[in-house]
C-alpha cells in the first residue's frame, strides 16, 4: 500500500538513507520501480518488485549481492522504524543497567553499526584535553550529552568484534556481523542549563575552497 502513494523523490530518499545506495542509483531504482507500477499497476508480489530492482541494476550488484537485497532492506528499515527502535532499545537498556554494566549489540549492516557509533558519541563525556581548548558552545556541539539531564554516560569497551576465520567457515552468514560492547558509567559533569545551545548544523559544516 505504501508504494501506491510514494513519489520518486520520497522513494529515492528511503533507498539512499536506509539502503546504502549511492544517490544516482537510488534515483534510478526509484524511477524504475514506480514506472513499472504506473505501467502495470500495483505490485502484487515481492517477485514483481525483485524484477523491477533487477531491471534497474541491469542484473548486477556492486557488492556481489542479489540486486534486490538492499532495496528490501531499505524498505523494511524505513517502514518498521528500525533506526528509531534500535535507538530506543539502546537507551532503554542503558537506563536499566547499573553503572559498570555492559550492553552488547550485534549488527549486520553498516548502517546499523553507524547508528550504534552515533549513540555512543551522543552519550560520551568530554575528553578533558578537548575541554581545555574549546568554547562552552563548541563543547556542547562535540559532546551532545552535556545538553541533557541523563544521569549516565557511555564508554566503548573495545573495538568492534568481527567473526574469526574459523567462525566464518562454520557460519558464512556471520560475514557482516559485528559485536559492539558499551559500558554504562556515572556522569562526572552534570548537565548545566546555562550552557549555550549548539549552532545549527549548517553553521558547523562549511565546504572549503579547493586550491
Tell me if residue 185 falls in helix, strand or coil: strand
pLDDT of 108 higher than 60: yes
What local confidence, expressed as pLDDT, does residue 61 receive?
63
Beta bridge partners of 102: 183
**What average pLDDT does this structure show over 106-126?**
93
Q: Which stretch of 32-41, 42-51, 199-208 has the lowest confidence by average pLDDT? A: 199-208
Q: What is the pLDDT of residue 202?
A: 85
pLDDT above 90 (res 19): no
Rounded Cα distance, 102 and 182, in Å: 6
The answer, yes or no, to whether residue 60 has pLDDT greater than 70, is no
Contact 14, 74 (CB under 8 A): yes
User: Which residues partner with 152 through β-bridges?
Assistant: 186
Give the 3-state secondary structure of residue 45: coil
Measuring CA to CA, how many Å separate 57 from each of 10, 32, 69, 150? Answer: 19, 10, 12, 46
Kindly report the average pLDDT of the chain as a whole number: 90
pLDDT at 128: 87
Share of the chain above pLDDT 70, in %: 94
Residue 160: in which H helix or E strand, if any? none
CA torsion angle 144 147 153 158 (round to 10): 10
Burial 20-52 (b: 16+ CB within 10 A, else e): bbeeebbbbbbebbbebbeeeeebeeeeebbbb
* Bridge partner list, 105: 180
The tens digit of pLDDT for each residue in 139-195 reads 999 999 988 889 999 999 999 999 999 999 999 888 889 999 999 999 886 655 557
Between residues 116 and 208, the one the model is more confident about: 116
Amino acid at each position: 500500500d505504501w508504494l501506491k502513494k510514494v513519489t520518486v523523490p520520497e522513494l529515492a530518499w528511503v533507498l539512499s538513507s536506509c539502503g546504502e545506495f549511492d544517490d544516482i542509483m537510488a534515483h534510478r531504482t526509484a524511477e524504475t520501480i514506480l514506472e513499472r507500477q504506473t505501467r502495470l499497476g500495483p505490485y502484487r508480489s515481492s517477485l514483481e518488485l525483485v524484477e523491477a530492482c533487477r531491471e534497474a541494476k541491469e542484473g548486477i550488484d556492486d557488492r556481489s549481492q542479489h540486486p534486490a537485497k538492499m532495496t528490501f532492506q531499505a524498505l523494511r528499515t524505513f517502514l518498521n522504524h528500525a533506526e528509531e527502535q534500535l535507538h530506543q532499545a539502546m537507551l532503554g537498556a542503558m537506563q536499566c543497567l547499573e553503572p559498570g554494566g555492559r550492553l552488547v549489540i550485534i549488527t549486520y549492516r553498516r548502517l546499523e553499526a553507524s547508528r550504534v557509533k552515533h549513540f555512543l558519541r551522543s552519550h560520551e563525556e568530554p575528553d578533558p584535553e578537548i575541554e581545555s581548548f574549546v568554547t562552552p558552545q563548541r563543547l556542547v556541539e562535540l559532546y551532545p550529552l552535556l545538553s541533557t539531564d541523563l544521569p549516565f554516560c557511555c564508554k566503548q569497551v573495545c573495538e568492534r568484534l568481527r567473526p574469526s576465520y574459523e567462525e566464518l567457515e562454520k557460519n558464512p552468514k556471520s560475514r557482516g556481523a559485528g559485536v559492539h560492547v558499551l559500558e554504562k558509567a556515572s556522569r562526572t559533569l552534570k548537565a548545566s542549563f546555562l550552557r549555550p545551545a549548539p549552532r545549527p548544523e549548517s553553521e558547523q559544516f562549511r565546504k572549503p575552497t579547493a586550491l
